């Protein structure tokens, strides 16, 4: 039964084969039959784990800010340090007016970070291995960027920005081409690349980890000889090393997603706010 915990499964939602370490819902599905409620949980397992990540963050920050004291304890100090670090980091990029966007961008980083880390916890799953999740996050960024552009620049200045800010005859002639080019590169492509980058990197890391987990468990539980047992031990050591590297990789992916989101917001702010 232990070996079955790391059996190969299929990414049925994406329509291609892959390796995935089993999670709590998939184990219930394997051992508790095919009742309707289990089918529903299996179908929406990514939503379940994304909501779980949001719940964990909510509990942590509510508990850390529920009773504020002048001399903070360790937990309150930890929460305040996280918030202040994120605020300083993103306001240094966006400027003083960027404090308005810190709650959104900071929450985005923490949410992605929490979901990524859940993929390294046994029987949990990183919802960012589902393209629907990463695309949903990218669409949220898209909406914030477009709303910021329309409110900060106004429709007229925003259209002028997308047309390359034509000020002479040649630029006016090129304006339709530049508008189409900027519309593709600045409006349509960013959310697509954001979602694919996060999905691809997290899925690749988790697939690699699951492959070595399966190799280690198969050889350690049912060794066919000394070299099989040695290979299982080496695979188990590799799992530990990969897990440590994935902590760094998943943190970087959360940072890259939020940092690019910050840059997209910066690009649509009025020039006087860039400083």
10-residue mean pLDDT profile of the chain (275 residues): values are 36 45 77 73 87 93 78 81 90 83 93 93 88 94 92 84 77 80 85 92 86 71 60 74 89 94 89 50
Residue 133's SS3 state is: helix
Tokens, residue 5: 């915990």
In this structure, are residues 26 and 9 in contact, taking their beta carbons and an 8 Å threshold? Answer: yes
Distance in angstroms (rounded) separating the CA atoms of residues 18 and 207: 7
Give pLDDT, residue 10: 36
Please report how the helices 45-65 and 74-94 are oriented relative to each other, as an axis angle in degrees rounded to 10.
110
Give pLDDT, residue 220: 59
Residue 123's SS3 state is: strand
In this structure, are residues 78 and 61 in contact, taking their beta carbons and an 8 Å threshold? Answer: no
Distance in angstroms (rounded) separating the CA atoms of residues 157 and 103: 26
Distance in angstroms (rounded) separating the CA atoms of residues 101 and 266: 10
Q: What are phi and psi of 188, to 5 degrees?
A: -90, -45
Question: How many CA atoms does the CB half-sphere of 46 hold within 13 Å?
Answer: 17
Give pLDDT, residue 7: 36
Q: Which of 219, 197, 212, 200 is nearest to 244 (CA)?
A: 212
Give pLDDT, residue 226: 55
Distance in angstroms (rounded) separating the CA atoms of residues 106 and 90: 8
Give pLDDT, residue 1: 34
Distance in angstroms (rounded) separating the CA atoms of residues 119 and 50: 11
């Amino acid at each position: 039964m232990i070996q079955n915990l790391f059996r190969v499964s299929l990414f049925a939602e994406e329509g291609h084969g892959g390796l995935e370490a089993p999670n709590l819902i998939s184990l219930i599905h394997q051992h508790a039959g095919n009742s309707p409620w289990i089918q529903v949980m299996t179908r929406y397992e990514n939503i379940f784990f994304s909501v779980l990540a949001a719940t964990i963050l909510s509990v942590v920050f509510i508990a850390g800010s529920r009773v504020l004291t002048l001399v903070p304890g360790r937990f309150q100090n930890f929460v305040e340090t996280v918030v202040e670090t994120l605020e300083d980091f993103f306001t240094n990029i966006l400027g003083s007016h960027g404090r308005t966007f810190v709650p959104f961008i900071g929450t985005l980083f923490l949410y992605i970070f929490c979901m990524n880390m859940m993929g390294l916890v046994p029987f949990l799953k990183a919802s960012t291995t589902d393209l629907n999740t990463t695309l949903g996050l990218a669409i949220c960024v898209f909406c914030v960027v477009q709303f910021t552009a329309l409110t900060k620049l106004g429709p007229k200045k925003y259209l002028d920005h997308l047309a390359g800010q034509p000020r002479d005859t040649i630029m006016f002639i090129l304006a339709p081409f530049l508008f189409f080019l900027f519309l593709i590169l600045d409006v349509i492509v960013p959310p697509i690349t954001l979602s694919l980058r996060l999905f691809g990197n997290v899925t690749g890391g988790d697939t690699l980890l699951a492959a070595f987990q399966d190799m280690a468990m198969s050889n350690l539980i049912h060794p066919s000889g000394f070299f099989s047992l040695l290979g299982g031990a080496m695979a188990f050591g590799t799992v530990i090393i990969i897990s440590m590297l994935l902590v760094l990789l998943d943190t970087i992916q959360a940072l890259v997603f939020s940092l690019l989101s910050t840059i997209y917001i910066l690009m649509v702010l009025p020039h006087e706010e860039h400083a």
